[in-house]
Every structure is written in structure tokens, then in C-alpha cells.
Amino acid sequence: MSVYCNDCRQNVVVERKFNWVAFLLLTVFYLPFYLVKKKRCPICKGTNLGNPVSEQRSVQVRQESKKDSITNNAVNEGLKSSPIIDHSASLGSVDIVSMVIQAMESSYLVATSKAIDTVVSRYELLKARLNGLKSARSRGAYLTSAQEGIDRFKLNFYNTIPADYQIAIVTEPDKFDLSEFYARSLLNCFRLYSTMQFEQIGNLKKEDAKQRRLSKVREVLDQVIGEVERECKGSPSYDVVHGTLLEAREAIERGNLDRLG
């Protein structure tokens, strides 16, 4: 059965491998498990699969993935490299569709992840893609390409309903307030992260282990505050978000963790 692997960016043939050893040991009890077992990509072993695409489209997507890898490496090294912005006049519908999908993926991770490194790296990618969408917005067929990207996103992530902010980013990129979105996302990231960490700290028995974990929480908080101060000044909720994070820092320093709930 041929399907499209969204991680490998190509059509692959998948099949469920029958484990004869497990069958001989479990007999009929293995059959229900085998029937509901998810099919996996034979290359990456992932389950992020979708409907097959044409070979031409598959090649185009892999080429775009290589360009994205180069751009991400430049971002991680602190370099400003955005060929999308510089060459917006040559953008085709395929490029716009690709940017729409990446913007929707990245904005979701920025808004929901509790890992600060993921939020920061995806924000940088989202910022580049949003600038590219702004440049392409003047094209007459932009909304048609944007809708195609939204439809492709829904197809690839059929268990996820796009949020309002994801639709707003790609349909009206000129009006989307990225700094406001990032400020609230950073606050949400720290709340999710700290809640998880404090639950785990409460289960630790040794005091030195608790202090090491608390020190890591302080490091992440300082990183979040730095991002807010660097990227979100001037956003409507800057004072509230910044003040809340400073209060969290003070609470941690005083050991009053109840104030972080």
C-alpha cells in the first residue's frame, strides 16, 4: 500500500509486519493487536502518514525541505537568511502552499509546547515564513494558494482542527500581531513547563535533587524572560506577561511555589 510519509517527504510502501514469535507465544491474543497496529514508514518508522502524492510533487517537497534545513541552520547560528523575502516576486503557488503549511505547523508548536527550545526555534521559523507570506499577499491568487495550504494541512493532520490563530496567520498575515502571539505563548510555555516540573519535584525525596531541578526551572524562566524582553516589547500584553514572569522568579527565589499555580 503506497502512502505519503510527512516526515520523510516522499511516497513509501507500508505494511504491517507479522511477528511470528509473538504469535506462537500469544496465539489468538496476538491477532487483535496485529489488526489494530498502526502502519509505519519503512524508512523513519514513523506513523505520520497521508494520502500518496504525485512523484513530481514529492520531489518538489523534498527540495523545499532541503532549503528549509539550510535556512534553519542559518537561524540557529544567529544569521539572518531569508531567501523567501528577497525573492518574493518569483514565488509560485507551490511555494506559498509550503509556507502556509509550515506557518500553521510552527504556530501550533509555539502556542502549545512546554519546551522552550522548541518554542524559540519554531518562532524563528514562523517569523521567516510570516514575512514570506506578507510579501506574497499582494499576489492575486494568494488566497487560493493559502486555502490549498490549509486543506493540505488538514489532510496531513486529520486529527487536528486548525485554531483561529493558525487561520489568521495565513489568511491575513499583514494583520497578525506576532509579538503579542509570542508573548502569550512564552507565558503559556513556562506555565506548562513549571507545572510539570513542580509535580515531579514534589515526588523527589532528596533535597539536593529538588534543588537541582529547581535550578533548572530558574534557568528556563530566565530564558523565557529574555525572549519576552527581546522580542515582545511594545506588544499589548507585554507588561502583564513580563510582570507575571518576574513575579514567578521572585516566588522561586523565596521558595513560595504556591504563587506559580
Residues 59 and 169 in one domain: yes
Residue where one domain finishes, among candidates 150, 176, 202: 176
Of 186 and 138, which is predicted with more confidence?
186
Distance CA(242)–CA(226), nearest Å, equals: 10
Q: Which residue has the higher pLDDT, 175 or 73?
A: 175
pLDDT of residue 245: 95
Q: Which residues does residue 13 pair with via DSSP β-bridges, in sequence order?
A: 2
Residue 260 DSSP symbol: G
Give the per-residue pLDDT at 242: 97
Strand partners, 10: 5
Domain limit, last residue, from 176, 198, 225: 176
On whether both 149 and 184 belong to a single domain, the answer is: no
Q: What percent of the chain has pLDDT over 70?
A: 62
Total Cβ atoms within 10 A of residue 150: 19
- Closest of 67, 92, 70 to residue 149, by C-alpha: 92
Whether residue 162 contacts residue 154, with contact meaning beta carbons closer than 8 Å, is answered with yes
Tell which of 127, 145, 176 closes a domain: 176
| C-alpha cell belonging to residue 183 | 508573548
In the numeric block, which cell numbers belong to residue 76?
540557529
112 pLDDT higher than 80: yes
Domain extent at residue 61: 54-176
Could you report the per-residue pLDDT of 209-257, keeping only the tens digit for each? 888 888 999 999 999 999 999 999 999 999 999 999 999 999 888 866 5
pLDDT of residue 119: 96
Domain count of the chain?
Answer: 3
Indicate if 67 and 169 belong to the same structural domain: yes
Q: How much is the mean pLDDT over the chain? A: 78
Nearest to 252 by CA among 190, 205, 204: 190
Residues 164 and 70 in one domain: yes
Give yes or no for a contact between 108 and 166, defined as CB atoms under 8 angstroms apart: yes
The answer to whether the Cα torsion of 141, 147, 149, 151 is positive or negative is negative
Q: What are the φ/ψ torsions at residue 161 (nearest 5 degrees)?
A: -90, 120
Same domain, 44 and 96: no
Contacts of 102 (CB under 8 A, 6+ apart): 68, 125, 129
Grid cell digits, residue 220: 528556563
Does residue 4 have a pLDDT over 70?
no
Q: Which three cell numbers stand for residue 139?
A: 499576489
Do 108 and 162 lie in a common domain?
yes
Query: What per-residue string of b and e applies to 97-118 under the rule 16 or more CB within 10 Å gives b?
Result: bbbbbbbbbbbbbbbebbebee
Pair 99, 134 in one domain: yes
Of 58-67, 112-121, 151-160, 186-195, the poorest mean pLDDT is in: 58-67
Indicate if 58 and 172 belong to the same structural domain.
yes
Are residues 35 and 14 located together in one domain of the fold? yes
* Shared domain check, 193 and 172: no
Return the C-alpha cell found at 26. 500469544
List the one residue out of 209, 194, 207, 210 whose CA is nearest residue 258.
194
Question: Does one domain contain both 227 and 170?
Answer: no
**How confident is the model over 40-56, as pLDDT tens digits?**
666 566 666 677 655 55
Same domain, 164 and 89: yes
> What is the pTM (predicted TM-score) of this model?
0.64
Give me the phi and psi of 2, to 5 degrees please.
-90, 130
What is the tens place of the pLDDT at every residue in 84-107? 333 344 456 778 999 999 999 999
| Per-residue pLDDT at 3 exceeds 50 | yes
